[in-house]
Structure 1
Amino acid sequence: MSSYSNDNTTMETTTTREDRLGYNNNTLKIVVGAFITSVAWICLLFTLIVFFAIFKSGQLKKDTINMLATLYCWTTAIYEDSYT
């Protein structure tokens, strides 16, 4: 506990271990959000790689387009959930 004086008033402040280390509850939220965001970007990148590989091979069919659209929807849903 420390105290300091300013204009004849004394204020006492308490410093916790977390404050001294620069750690607070938001750090965990930021780390988890960053992890989920990175996973979503990796899924999106993987989807794009698969899409272009199928596109270059000439095997693009309606079912494939539907599968990729579903993967894209799941990826964006994960990405948007990381910010809620």
Structure 2
Amino acid sequence: AAPIDTASAARASIAVAEAKVLTTEIALQASEKLFELAGSRATLAEFNLDRHWRNARVHTLHDPVRWKYHAVGAYYLNGTLPARHSWI
């Protein structure tokens, strides 16, 4: 396998950031649509459906998507490479 260079690491980071942006939007929209389609009774505690929105929201806050938008935009608009992190 070829060593990871700066350009390939940047492309991989941006691909992950794009996936994070997309999955965040889809997860929140899907959980919101659940209530929209099911009606006001779906919000009753006995059904516990709010857990889907809550779980989606917690995951979006764990790794804030706002920084992903920034990284993707800076990469495509300005050619700015995302920061490389290592755990050595």
- Give the TM-score normalised by the residue count of structure 1: 0.51
In the TM superposition, what whole-angstrom CA distance separates every residue of 1:10-67 from its partner, at most 9, and x where no partner exists?
Answer: xxxxxxxxxxxxx8121111111101111111101111110212225x3430253642
Which protein is richer in strand relative to its size? 1
Q: Contact (CA 8 Å) 2:31, 2:56: kept in 1 or not?
A: yes
Q: Does 1:80 align with 2:71?
A: no
Q: 1:55 aligns with which of 39, 43, 51?
A: 39
Q: Where in structure 1 are there 5+ consecutive unaligned residues?
A: 1-22
> What TM-score do the two structures reach when normalised by structure 2?
0.49
1:8 matched to which residue of 2? none
Indicate if the aligned counterparts of 2:43 and 2:50 stay in contact, CA closer than 8 A. no
**CA 1:80 to 1:49, structure 2 compared with 1: closer, same or farther past 3 Å?**
same
Please report how far the alpha carbon of residue 78 of structure 1 lies from its aligned counterpart in structure 2 after TM superposition.
5.2
Once the two structures are aligned, what percentage of the paired residues are identical? 10
Change (3 A) 1:45 1:79: farther
Q: 1:26 maps to what in 2?
A: 10
For residues 15 and 26 of structure 2, the distance between their equivalents in structure 1, rounded to whole angstroms, comes to 16
Mark the runs of 5 or more structure 2 residues left unpaired by the alignment: 1-5, 69-88
Distance across 2 between alignment mates of 1:61 and 1:73: 19
Quick one: distance in 2 between partners of 1:35 and 1:80? 13
**CA 1:82–1:28: 2 relative to 1, 3 Å:** farther
Root-mean-square deviation (Å):
3.1
AA aligned opposite 2:33: I
